Amino acid sequence: MIYEGKAITVKEIEGGIAQLNFDLQGESVNKFNRLTIEELRAATDKLEAQKGLKGLVVTSSKDSFIVGADITEFTELFAGPEEDLVANNLKANEVFSAIEDLPFPTVTAINGMALGGGFEMCLATDYRVMDTKAKVGLPEVKLGIFPGFGGTVRLSRLVGVDYAVEWICGGTENRADKALKVGAVDAVLEGEKLVEAAIGIINQCNDGKLDYQARREEKKGKIKLNAMESMMAFEISKAYVAGQAGKNYPAPVEAIKVMQKHAGLTRDKAIEVEAKGFAKMAKTNVAACLVGLFLNDQELKK
C-alpha cells in the first residue's frame, strides 16, 4: 500500500501502475470535504516520491464517482473574508495541479456521477474513460457560483470555448455519449472494463503510441484562439447567456468573463483568475440564498 487514509487509498495494481481509489468512510457517496482534499494532497505527495511508477488510474468504490464538494462546508467558508476564499481555492488547486504534473500518464475511470469538484478531478488527469451510464458536469451555477478547482480553465482548453460555456453556464449533467462527442472524455465502455481500458491507455503512452505530455500541455496552455476569434466567442456568449440568466443571476455571465480573462494565460495564472472570480461570486447574496435553499432541501429529504 502506497497510501491509506479515510477517504483515499493508493496501491500498485500491476506493472508499476498505481491505483488511487476514492472511498469516503461512513458516507454513501464520495465528496470533496476538507478531509478528502487533505488526503488527496498527502496521497499525491506519496505518488511523487514513489520510485518506478509508470502510470496512475483514478477510481471510486462508490456507485457514483465523486458528487462534488461538501456543500455543508460552504456556509462557514463563504462567510469568511474574500481574500481567505481566494487563498483556500488556490491551496486546493495546488493539489489538482500536482496530480496534473505527475511524472507519468494518468487516467480517470468514471464509473458513475462525476459532478463539480468530482469532474474537476477527472479533468486534472491526462485521459478519462467513462461508464456508459455515468454522467459528468459542472453544476455550480445552480448554487450561484461557478467551478473553482480549475474547471473553467481545463474544460475551456479541452473542449473549446463554446462547449465549455454551454456546460458551465447551463450547469448540465451530461451523458457519456455527449461527453465523448465534445472531447470531454476519451472512451465510453461498460463499467467492468474501465480499469482495463485505463491501463491500456497508460501502456500505449509508455509505448510511445499516445503522447500524454502533448495532451497535458494543451490543457495547461492558453486557449487556442486568436484575438478576434476570442472576442467573438466570448462576447456572443455573454450576450446570449445574459439574456437567458437575467440580471439577478450573475454567476453564468461572470463565469464567461473569467474564462475570457484567463484565455491568454497559462494554467497557474489562469487558476488565479478563476479563484478571484469564484470568491467574488461566493460572497454574493444570490450564492448565500441558493446554498441555503439547497441545504434546507437536503435536510427535508432526510
Pairing verdict, β 135-137 and 173-175 = antiparallel
Active site residue 140: yes
Query: In this structure, which long-range contacts are made by residues 293-299, counting pairs with CB atoms below 8 Å and at least 24 apart in sequence?
Result: 294/71, 294/142, 294/143, 295/71, 295/72, 295/75, 298/71
Report the alpha-carbon distance of residue 258 to residue 240 in Å, rounded: 16
In 56-171, where does DSSP find H-type helix? 74-79, 82-100, 117-124, 151-159, 161-170
Q: Catalytic: which of 39, 100, 140, 274?
A: 140
Active site residue 120: yes
Q: Catalytic: which of 116, 117, 151, 277?
A: 117
Q: Catalytic: which of 18, 69, 109, 198?
A: 69
Q: Catalytic: which of 39, 43, 114, 120?
A: 120
State whether residue 61 is helix, strand or coil: coil
Report the alpha-carbon distance of residue 168 to residue 166 in Å, rounded: 6
Report the alpha-carbon distance of residue 237 to residue 257 in Å, rounded: 10
DSSP line for 181-193: HHTS-SEEE-GGG
User: Which residues are identified as catalytic?
Assistant: 69, 117, 120, 140
